[in-house]
Amino acid sequence: MRALLPFVFASFTLSSQPLAAALPVGAQAPDFTTTGAVGGKPFRLHLKDQLKHGPVVLYFFPKAFTQGCTLEAHAFAEAIPEFRKAGARVVGMSADDLDTLKKFSTEACRNKFPVATASPDTIKAYDVVLKQKPELTDRTSYVIDRKGRIVMVHSDLDWKDHVAKTLAAVKALKG
C-alpha cells in the first residue's frame, strides 16, 4: 500500500494544486507560532506541536463571518469526527484579529476546531495572499503529514470542495 501512496496523492494534486503554489506537494511546511482560539478560548498554536499528534489540515480562509468562510467553517465542523477518526487535526487560519477569531471559533466553528491568526510572514510563507485584497488570505487548504511535508494542496475561492478533498487526502495517508 505504501508504494501506491505517491500515485494516490498525485490524483489529488493534479486536479487541486494551484498553478503557482509556493508550497508544492513534497515541500516542507513552514513552521510558525501564533495565537488562536477554540471554543472562544485563546491559546498559543505552534504547528510543530500540532504535528506531534498526527497530520494537520491547515486551511486558510479570507475573512471570518463572510458567507463563504462561515459555510466552510460549518462544513469543517460537521466533518471533524471523520478527521479525528483518520487521526488528523484541522486548523483554520486567517488574517483576522484574535477577538474576531474567538467569536468565530464558537459561532462558525461550533467549538469543534481551532482558528488562528495568520501573520503577514505566515501568509507570505504559505503563498496565500489574496491578490484582489492583499490584506486577506486566499482560500487554500494544505494537508501536512506528521513529518511536516505537504501532501495535498487545494486552492479555490469556492469553499465547497475543501473539506472533501482534504478529508480524502487524510484518509489516504492513514491507509
161-166, long-range: CB < 8 A, 24+ apart: 161/16, 162/59, 162/72, 162/75, 162/76, 163/72, 163/75, 163/76, 163/79, 165/12, 165/16, 165/141, 166/57, 166/59, 166/90, 166/141
d(CA 87, CA 56): 9
| Catalytic residue (choose from 8, 21, 25, 69) | 69
- Give catalytic status of residue 109 as yes or no: no
**151, three cell numbers:** 501532501
CB 149 within 8 A of CB 124: no
What residues act catalytically?
Answer: 69
